């Protein structure tokens, strides 16, 4: 549960410090406050990075992620870092960069995750992943925007870990794709008992 650090008891603050998540919680609270203000139309003079973060948080909320869990905001940070790498990818020569990135996203102890957890959020990498998994476990299936989910994952989504899903979500936010339900053109058949040699009559004869 995300709380303002000022409202925490000394016991809760000590527990957070021991878990190495006090700074991460502070940043998450700021992100949550910013996101709520944006939904209420109270956010003025918004920066580009804030627009990016709000778009990602809106996407996560639309996919049923709990907006009061630290792990949701840590996952947002993962998606942000992926987005910054893939947003300008447009050439086939960039595919190697994407493959290397996906390899890191598959490795829980890669430098990619270590940088976000330890250097940026000042917390242990195991705790970092634990919080994300905790948020994922609390996804509200009934709150999922089905139309949005289809745009992101398609009608028949494949199972994937949250590292690769972060790549997919970042690519969606970067407008690299938008899945749509397949529409198979309907074949309009003739009436089975219609004679093929019937000629079209004058409209006046049909009155």
User: Other CB atoms closer than 10 Å to residue 57's CB: what's the count?
Assistant: 24
**Cβ-contact 109, 48 below 8 angstroms:** no
On the 0-12 / 13-18 / 19+ scale of CB atoms within 10 A, 169 is buried
Query: Model pTM?
Result: 0.78
How far does Cα 43 stand from its chain's mean position? 22
Answer yes or no: is pLDDT of 191 > 80. Answer: no
- Looking at residue 118, what is its pLDDT? 93
pLDDT digit string, tens, across residues 143-169: 999 999 999 998 888 889 999 999 999
**Cβ-contact 32, 67 below 8 angstroms:** yes
pLDDT band for 195, please (50, 70, 90 cuts). Answer: low
- Who wins on pLDDT, 120 or 180? 120
**Cβ-contact 95, 56 below 8 angstroms:** no
pLDDT band for 31, please (50, 70, 90 cuts). Answer: very high
C-alpha angle 98-59-2 in degrees, rounded to nearest 5: 110
């Amino acid at each position: 549960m995300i709380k303002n650090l000022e409202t925490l008891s000394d016991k809760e603050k000590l527990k957070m410090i021991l878990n190495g998540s006090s700074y991460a919680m502070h940043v998450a609270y700021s992100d949550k406050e910013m996101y709520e203000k944006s939904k209420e139309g109270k956010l003025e003079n918004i920066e580009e990075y804030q627009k990016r973060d709000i778009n990602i948080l809106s996407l996560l909320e639309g996919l049923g992620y709990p907006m009061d869990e630290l792990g949701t905001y840590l996952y947002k940070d993962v998606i942000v870092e992926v987005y910054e790498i893939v947003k300008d990818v447009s050439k086939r020569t960039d595919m190697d960069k994407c493959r290397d990135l996906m390899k890191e996203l598959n490795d829980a102890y890669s430098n990619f995750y270590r940088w976000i957890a330890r250097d940026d959020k000042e917390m242990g990498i195991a705790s970092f992943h634990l919080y994300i998994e905790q948020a994922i476990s609390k996804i509200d299936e009934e709150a999922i925007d089905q139309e949005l989910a289809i745009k992101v994952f398609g009608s028949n989504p494949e199972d994937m870990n949250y590292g690769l899903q972060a790549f997919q979500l970042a690519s969606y936010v970067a407008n690299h794709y938008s899945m749509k339900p397949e529409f198979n053109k309907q074949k309009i058949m003739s009436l089975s008992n219609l004679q093929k040699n019937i000629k079209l009559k004058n409209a006046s004869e049909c009155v």
